[in-house]
Amino acid sequence: MSGATEARIGTRPRLGRVTVTGVGAAVVAAAVTTACAALAKAAGVDFEVPDGGEAIPVGGFATVTGFFSLVGVAVALALGRRSARPAQRFLQVTLALTTASLVPPFLAGGNAATTATLVGLHLVAAAVVIPVVARALRTP
């Protein structure tokens, strides 16, 4: 094994730590987005998509946030195994995916309050998960 390969392998993040940290961040993000959605609903946001259609249930925010946060953890684990700079690559990938996730609320046909709240909830989830997982990916 070459010295460069040994150095690269020796500096890999601890993937067990990344997993536990990522799952914890996913749970926190799901709870925070659900709480924010409940507050928004209490403030009058109807979450009807398309406008006048079925409303997104508040509990649905926990499910969707949890699922996509765990997808992010899977991306982090893959990058932790395959990238020489997993934290940097994770930030690049997740920031691009977060940006892409901001488009569907505008296409869903909800009213302005629903659209703005959905965008805000995407940003809240990203703000909870991305920095925590990126930090866990940094080598010890």
Q: What is the DSSP string of 31-72?
A: HHHHHHHHHHHHTT---BSSTTSPBPPHHHHHHHHHHHHHHH
Q: Are 134 and 75 in contact (CB under 8 A)?
A: no
Digit-coded pLDDT (tens) for 108-132: 999 999 999 999 999 999 999 999 9
Note the pLDDT tens digit of each residue in 50-59: 877 889 999 9
Residue 40 has pLDDT above 60, yes or no: yes
The confidence score (pLDDT) of residue 130 equals 98
Kindly give, in sequence order, each residue whose CB lies less than 8 Å from that of residue 70, ignoring residues fewer than 6 positions away.
Answer: 22, 23, 26
The whole-number average pLDDT for the span 30-49 is 97
**CA–CA dist 37, 57 (Å, integer):** 9
**pLDDT above 90 for 140:** no
Query: Looking at the predicted structure, is the pLDDT value of residue 5 above 80?
Result: no
**Residue 48, amino acid:** E
Domain range summary for the chain, segments of one domain joined by +: 3-137
Span 73-110, pLDDT tens digits: 999 999 999 999 999 999 999 999 999 999 999 999 99
User: Are 90 and 79 within 8 A, CB to CB?
Assistant: yes
Looking at residue 11, its pLDDT comes to 61
Backbone angles phi, psi at 93, to 5 degrees: -65, -50
Distance CA 67, CA 63 (A): 6
DSSP-assigned letter for residue 13: -
